[in-house]
A and B are shown apart, each in its own frame.
Chain A
């Protein structure tokens, strides 16, 4: 599972930082900073999904590496 973050779309709602602090930090202005590059560790998949499902600006996306056939 890969995670990507669109800084242009982020408006600093900070939902990802609250729900998945292992994956997101915030900068001094309150915009999200993605802490991992590429693969999301297995144990953080659920938190990554929460971050995606609660971002009002759709700034976070998850992609399965090997989508089921």
Chain B
């Protein structure tokens, strides 16, 4: 969790730390307080970082590629080394005009009609996971829905898309932990063979001799203006898909199950009215949006009365935008049939999450299959729920008790 040198946060307005466990545990309350008292907060940590919390400001930054660059999207004491407009993991790290070219290559693979064929295998995999959980169910009925269910779903789907063995999933999770959850903090040194870069370049090498029809093979054959993509471009994009597609979706599935575990009446409603599911999924995405993006200031600019300087980091907490009362009615209430829901869970502007259709499908299928098999469940120990730190927020430990139908008791409400 916290690095050895971390100083505790004394003031969220002037010294926030988005990698602190207390931020992870209570982020919605922190955003709310900042929105009311200091809507553009600052911290000297990570070389100088801003935290806007209002929808208006977050949207303005996401739409402004002139003053903000995507060269760095994970706030860290380390400076991003690959310059704009390409960046280290195109297209998420890219700026116009290159961004549109790199993104255009990938868009068809992630469009709704391309994602649809993945639904049936995802459904079968979710069903298989739950069947196994129920088969191995201890007498207590307690299982970890984050570790035993949610995390496996996107790992399997992404491995399938990339064309790598499903068993490599455990390694993916290790990479993600080091890169996203421990960004900029020194953990144990790792051997070169155990790095994501090494893993990806091994996969690329394999396909040099044997072309494949998976996403890695596709990128190796792709061209921009008749020129094949550089290995760094291909490797960076694969890294992006691996990092961005897994713990994000895992977080959304876990957070939704966390909410439903506290609201048996909502589970019953979703089971009785499956036509609500498309609205419920968007509402879960709004209320529990996992992803906070980041930018670097590329030209001095004013925001919410504060002067931002070139080189400063800016966090884009989309989940805070999603709870802004200026933008949403009753933002802290989860309203499963909310009809007006312009949520920003997948970002705003030109960097809209490339995998949004995939994530939406996975979340929908994961919840449908779960409720079909586990209609009644509750938090086994609310205090034991552990939220991830950093820019992707979701439950990493989520002990729930699976109940015999008809025995549930309503527990406390969610934040």
Task: Contact check, B357 vs A29: say whether CB atoms are below 8 A apart.
Answer: no
Q: Which listed residue (B111, B278, B357) contacts A19, Cβ 8 A? A: B278
Is there a chain A Cβ closer than 8 Å to B343's Cβ? yes
CB distance from A33 to the nearest CB of B (A): 12
B352 touches A12 (CB 8 A): yes
> Given the complex of chains A and B, what is the CA–CA distance between A27 and B104 in angstroms?
12
Contact at A30–B112, with CB atoms within 8 Å? yes
- What A residues does B104 contact at CB under 8 A? 29
The one of A14, A19, A54, A55 that contacts B356, using a Cβ cutoff of 8 Å: A14
Against B, the Cβ 8 Å flags (1 = close, 0 = not) of A41-63 are 00000000010011111100000
**Closest Cβ–Cβ distance, residue B108 to chain A (whole Å):** 5
Q: Which of A11, A17, A53 contacts B348 (CB 8 A)?
A: A11
Contact between B340 and A53 (Cβ–Cβ < 8 Å)?
yes
Give a binary string over B324-345; 1 marks a CB under 8 Å from any A CB, 0 the rest: 0000000000000001111110
| Shortest Cβ distance from A15 into B: residue | B282
A61: min CB distance to chain B, Å: 13
Query: How far apart are the CA atoms of A29 and B106 in the complex, in Å?
Result: 8
Picked from B111, B341, B346, B349, the residue with its CB within 8 Å of the CB of A54 is B341
B339 touches A29 (CB 8 A): no
Q: How far is the CA of A53 from the CA of B357 in the complex (A)?
A: 19
CB-CB < 8 A to A7: which residues of B? none
A57 and B278 contacting across the interface, CB-CB below 8 Å = no
Residues of B within 8 A of A29 (CB): 104, 107-108, 111
A28 in the interface (beta carbon within 8 A): yes
Interface size bracket, B side: 20 to 34
How far in angstroms is the closest Cβ of chain A from B378? 31
- Residues of A contacting B: mostly: loop
Contact yes or no, A30 B348, CB < 8 A? no
Instruction: Report if A36 contacts B (CB, 8 A).
Output: no
Assembly CA distance A13 to B282 (angstroms): 12
Please, which residue of chain A has its CB at the minimum distance from the CB of B104? A29
Kindly state whether residue B113 has any CB partner on chain A within 8 Å.
Answer: yes
B110 interface contact, C-beta 8 A = yes
Q: How many A-B residue pairs have CB under 8 A?
A: 54
Give the complex CA separation of A65 and B348 in angstroms.
Answer: 31
Residue numbers in B under 8 Å from A35 (CB-CB): none
Give A54 to B339 CA distance when docked, in angstroms: 8
A31-B113 Cα distance, complex, nearest whole Å: 11
Whole-angstrom CA separation of A27 from B114 in the bound complex: 11
Q: Of B111, B340, B344, which is within 8 A of A28 by CB?
A: B111
Instruction: Check if A30 sits within 8 Å of B282, measured CB to CB.
Output: no
Please provide the chain B residues from 99 to 144 with a CB less than 8 Å away from any CB of chain A in the complex.
Answer: 104, 107-108, 110-113
Q: Are A30's CB and B342's CB within 8 A?
A: no
Closest A residue to B349 using CB positions: A11
- Cβ-based interface call for B350 (8 A): yes
Nearest B residue to A26, CB-CB: B112
Q: Complex: how many Å from CA A27 to CA B108?
A: 9
Bound together, the chains give a CA A57 to CA B351 distance in angstroms of: 12
Q: Contacts A12-B107, A53-B341, A57-B348; is A18 near B278 (CB within 8 Å)?
A: yes
- Contacts A11-B349, A13-B356, A19-B278 given; does A56 touch B111 at CB 8 Å: no
B143 to chain A, nearest CB (A): 31
Besides the known contacts A12-B111, A18-B278, A28-B108, 17 further A-B residue pairs in the complex with CB atoms under 8 A apart: A11-B348, A11-B349, A14-B112, A17-B112, A26-B112, A28-B111, A28-B113, A29-B104, A29-B108, A29-B111, A30-B110, A50-B339, A54-B340, A54-B341, A54-B342, A55-B342, A56-B342
- Chain A to chain B: the 3 pairs with minimum beta-carbon distance, closest first: A30-B111, A29-B107, A53-B340
Q: Report which A residues bind B (CB closer than 8 A).
A: 11-15, 17-19, 26-30, 50, 53-58
Enumerate 14 A-B pairs (CB-CB under 8 Å) in ascending A order: A11-B349, A12-B107, A12-B111, A14-B112, A14-B356, A14-B357, A26-B111, A27-B111, A29-B107, A53-B340, A54-B282, A54-B339, A54-B340, A57-B348
